[in-house]
Amino acid sequence: MNKRATQWQWDDVRFFLAVAREGSLSAAARLLDVGHVTVARRIALLEKHLGAKLVTRTPDGFSITPAGQAILKQSAMMEGAALDLERIAAGRDSLTAGTVRLTATEALARRVVVPAIAALRESHPDLQVDLLTGVRSMDIARREADLAVRFARPRNPDLVCRRLGEIGFSLYASRRYLDRRGTPARGNGLAGHDLVTFTGTPSAMAPFFMGESLDGARISVRCDNPLIQLDAAVDGAGIAELACFLGDDSPGLVRVWPNEQPMHRAVWLIVHQDLRRSARIRAVSAAIVDSFHKNARALRAGLHQPNRR
């Protein structure tokens, strides 16, 4: 037998675990940032080496075979040990160079993170930041990201959380929408109005729509990208709850209640405790903290000046 035909890499188990967790080759490929053909090939190599079928195709995707179930726990332990090794080594890296994987929502990335990266590049040209945007929480413990800027504070004791400050949120709509549908009275709910919101209900963002009752309201657009939510509101699709720094910066929107104080939500910078001493992690963290502090007033209150009565 050709010895090379049965060679496999120990991290082939990552591909097996990704399919086990996600239930499909395409979802596992997105999680691992590779093509689905690569996922299938790496699992096939692992199966050939072990001499057992680990996953099987079903009408709904893929399921784990009894042989796969038998090694699932050990595979997760192997992954955990490998990630621990990577974190410990990276956490003691004294070079401000290499790659940092950073995740943030699109709005925070646009206002805080990208300016921080641009400033950082001037003093650390050998540092590369892979920016992963969206509301889905990346698993820092599994090295899906090294740093996160998030509204939700995780409870994992292995994660170190630093409070960056607060973001102000308010309700926004186009003038055309409010002229056509009227302005809802504060405290009377949003019945009869169209709303632009998220596909899910992120607990860190609650209460939604400044605590107003949504009974009788209609959802016109659901999207997890706040920049798309802004565009939908500008086009008259309905009322959106947006970060004030985002909504106030759009000439096509007005605050629904211009004299109402924004609702504030805390923002956290999150890193695994094994990585916090890494030189490149410290450099990126410091740049984000500095960028947030420079923009603190606009992030908390926006650009709007309420009318004085």
What is the tens place of the pLDDT at every residue in 181-206?
A: 999 999 999 999 999 999 876 666 77
Comma-separated ranges of CATH 3.40.190.290 domains in the chain = 96-309
Distance CA(29)–CA(164), nearest Å, equals 33
The CATH number of 96-309 is: 3.40.190.290
- Does the domain made of 3-91 have the CATH classification 2.40.50.140? no
SS3 per-residue string spanning the chain: CCHHHHCCCCCHHHHHHHHHHHCCHHHHHHHHCCCHHHHHHHHHHHHHHHCCCCEEEECCEEEECHHHHHHHHHHHHHHHHHHHHHHHHHHCCCCCCEEEEEEECHHHHHHHHHHHHHHHHHHCCCEEEEEEECCCCCCCCCCCCCEEEECCCCCCCCEEEEEEEEEEEEEEECHHHHHHHCCCCCCCCCCCCEEEECCCCCHHHCCHHHHCCCCCCEEEEECCCHHHHHHHHHCCCCEEEEEHHHHCCCCCCEECCCCCCCEEEEEEEEEECCCCCCHHHHHHHHHHHHHHHHCHHHHHHCCCCCCCC
- The tens-digit pLDDT sequence of the chain (309 residues) is 444 445 556 778 888 888 888 888 888 888 777 888 888 888 888 888 888 888 887 777 777 888 878 878 877 777 776 666 665 655 445 556 788 889 898 999 999 999 999 988 888 888 888 998 887 666 666 667 888 998 888 888 888 899 999 999 999 999 999 999 999 999 999 999 999 999 876 666 778 899 999 999 999 999 989 999 999 999 999 999 999 999 999 999 999 999 999 999 999 999 888 777 788 888 899 999 999 999 999 999 988 655 433
Q: What is the pTM of this model?
A: 0.68
Comma-separated ranges of CATH 1.10.10.10 domains in the chain = 3-91
The predicted structure's pLDDT at residue 31: 77
